[in-house]
């Protein structure tokens, strides 16, 4: 499934990185401790977090994540948006909490 397909199915908002919405999603990962995500998330994963500062883009780029979902309506820094556009990393937003998003990802076949 592509990021674009997931966005449509879950009703997510695309905040930045629209050029990367054709990336394939292979799995999901949830976590807010950046070093833990770097050590454990897999390439191609959709990453769910409440973090919204620019370092999330660096982590996503470093391990080749497909996209980032910022949960719970967390405010996303402007610097983060600019960097996501530069790196072509889809940065998505939702008011739902991480548990709700994980449940929906599983329902649409992302595990």
Mean pLDDT by 10 residues, the chain (111 residues): 98 98 98 97 98 98 98 97 98 98 97 89
Which DSSP symbol is given to 2? B
pLDDT computed for residue 21 by the predictor: 98
3-state helix, strand and coil shares in percent for the chain, rounded to the nearest 5 = 40, 20, 40
**pLDDT at residue 88 in the model:** 98
pLDDT of residue 109: 96
Total tally of structural domains belonging to the chain: 1
For residues 89 and 61, the answer to whether their CB atoms sit within 8 Å is yes
Q: Which domain holds residue 14?
A: 3-107
pLDDT at 53: 96
User: For position 66, what pLDDT does the model report?
Assistant: 98
Looking at residue 55, which CATH number applies to its domain?
3.40.1390.20
């Amino acid at each position: 499934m592509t990021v674009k397909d997931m966005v449509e199915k879950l009703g997510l908002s695309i905040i930045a990185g629209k050029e990367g919405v054709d990336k394939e999603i292979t799995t999901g990962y949830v976590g807010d401790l950046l070093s833990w995500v770097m050590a454990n998330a897999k390439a191609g994963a959709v990453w769910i977090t409440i973090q919204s500062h620019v370092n999330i883009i660096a982590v996503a780029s470093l391990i080749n994540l497909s996209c980032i979902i910022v949960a719970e309506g967390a405010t996303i820094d402007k610097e983060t948006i600019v960097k996501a556009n530069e790196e072509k990393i889809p940065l998505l937003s939702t008011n739902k909490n991480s548990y709700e998003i994980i449940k929906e990802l599983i329902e649409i076949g992302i595990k």
